[in-house]
Structure formats: C-alpha cells, structure tokens
Amino acid sequence: MKSKIIFLTSLVVSSSLLAGESLIQKAKDAGLQPIPSNEKELLKLIDNPNNKLSKEKIELGKKLYFDPRLSKSALISCNTCHNLAIGGDDNIPAATGHKWTANPHHLNSPTVYNAVFNKRQFWDGRSPDLEDQATGPIQAAPEMDMDAKEVVKIVKSIPEYKNQLNKVFPNEEITIKTIGKAIGAFERTLVTPSRYDKYLSGNEKALTSSEKEGLKTFINVGCASCHTGVGLGGSMQPFPAVKKYKYANIGDFKGNKDGLVRTPTLRNIVETAPYFHNGATYDLKEAIAIMGETQLGKKLSKSEIDSIAVFLNSLTGDKPTVTYPVLPVETKTTPKPNLN
C-alpha cells in the first residue's frame, strides 16, 4: 500500500511538471520570449551596432535625459513625459509640453521602459530606433519646443557636455543626432525583467496558479498574436482591426498611412494607465474588453477578462536603479530659457 501511495504521489508530481512545461512551451510557440537573465545575451538584444553601448555613453545619455535645459523653457526634460519613477510615462491622457500644450492629436506618452524591444518608435512607427526617436520630442512644438541648432548651442556652451560628447563620439560633429544617440543609449538600458520572465525561463514557481491560468487565457483568446516577442508588443498592427474602437472620437489619430499603429508593450501595464494611443481609459479591465472586441472580434467573458488581468500583474518588472544625475553647470554663453 505504501509503495502504491508513493507511486501515485510521484505520478501527480510528474503530471504537474509536464503541465507546467507544456504551458511554457505553448507560450514560446505563441512567440512569447523572456528577457534574458544572461548579461551577454541581453546585450545582444538591446545594443545598437550603429551606436555601441559604453558606460561613458550611457552616463552621458542619462544626464541629457534628465536635463530640462534641452527644452525651450528649461523646465521640461525627457523624464517629464517619460518619468522613470511612475512607470516611464506621465500617467495623463494626452502628452503635455511647452506652455501646457496638450498633444494636438491627443496622443498619450508611451512608456520608455522596454521601448528598446519595439520594432518601431512613436505610435505611427515613424522612427526606426530610440536614437532617432529621442530627437523628436526635443524639437516638437507641443513638447520641448526647441530648435535643433539651439540645443547644440546649449550643450556646446557647457564644457563638461562638450568634452564628454567629443570623448564618446570622437571625430564626430556635435549635432542634434549626436545628442539623440547619447540619450538613446541610456534608454536602451531601461529594461524590466519580471517574474513572468523567470517563469518562461523555466522557474515553475515564479507565477501563481491563477497567473498561469491567466497566461493560458491570454494565449487561447488570441492576445499573443500582437502582444508577443520579448516586448509583448512593439510591432505595427491595424487598429481597429475588426470592430470600431469605442473611443475613436478622442483625438484624430488614425495610425500611419496604412492605418497601422504601434502595439504598446504590456510590460508594467498596471503602472502605465491611461491606456490606448489616446489615453482613453484608466480601467485595465475595460481596456482588455475593448481589445477583445476591437482586435479579436470577441466579447470576452468576465472570467476571461479577470484572468487576463491577473496574468498582466505578473508583468510588473524590476526597474533598474537610476541615480538622479548632478548636471553640469552652465556658462554665461549658455542660451537662456524662453517661456514664450
């Protein structure tokens, strides 16, 4: 009798392990991939062959990311709209910049965390990488509203910046693109591995049973068809795809010329409300329901929505430690703030 009990117990444990392995494999078959825990493997994913990462470049980029003097008013930095303390975004429906100007298309600020995994940058995918994207908001009138030449004047008027840029980018003229390359390098390091990544890497205990059920539901209903890869998003997809978007009247954004919109990452999703390109709702479960109808043509049940929401909580990751930098002092030749 004792040997029979041991056999049955062993059988139950083996079945449980097989079930776990089966779900991990199912997730991988659906295209889901973890953030590598190995630093060398991670570097392969986040580095840019045309802008190789280095400690000095990343540190310089961090200073520029936090420096409000790159804006016309000297009050707005990259971190204003992509605040690393609150999910890498600003938690308001429409990005708001110079002179409290809201984005004219009512576009929401996407998170900068894990943006390195996006195939394209901006909601319409117009930028190929973070380096190019970083130069856009600096010059955009509703954001930092700075002339490119004026930005260059500012950094060149500050000896520490000028020396660091010349050191990091030797034999390269300092331009707005150079500044974007430094900021982009820093942004490439802002990845947030979570319990979900540990689970996909083989740690069966990293997710709770309800989170695993949520992952199953997420895959089964079709969410992983767009929210896939390492970033759980980041590709260009039609939106709306099947049915009309409930909040289409908020703003006038219709995607790129082909009607495609960059799929947002689901990583840290519980920290990055409001949701959708136009920041239409702060309710995560409503967002899930809308995505089911709009993109999948399905009216998800309450239990399916609740289950997916539980899984999404497991995507909240560990943020990299970012020490607020002491910025270099300006000089008498540094252009002055302009509040107009």
Residues assigned a catalytic role: 143
- d(CA 1, CA 78) in angstroms, rounded, equals 68
Q: Amino acid identity of 323? A: T
Cβ atoms within 10 Å, residue 43: 14
CA proximity to 247, closest of 268, 275, 285, 284 = 275
Task: Give CA–CA dist 248/246, Å, rounded.
Answer: 6
Instruction: Round to whole Å and give the CA distance between 84 and 221.
Output: 32
Confirm if 57 and 134 have CB atoms less than 8 A apart: no
d(CA 273, CA 95): 13
Residue 83 has phi, psi (to 5 degrees) of: -75, 115
DSSP state of 89: B
Q: Is 260 helix (H, G, I), strand (E, B) or coil?
A: strand
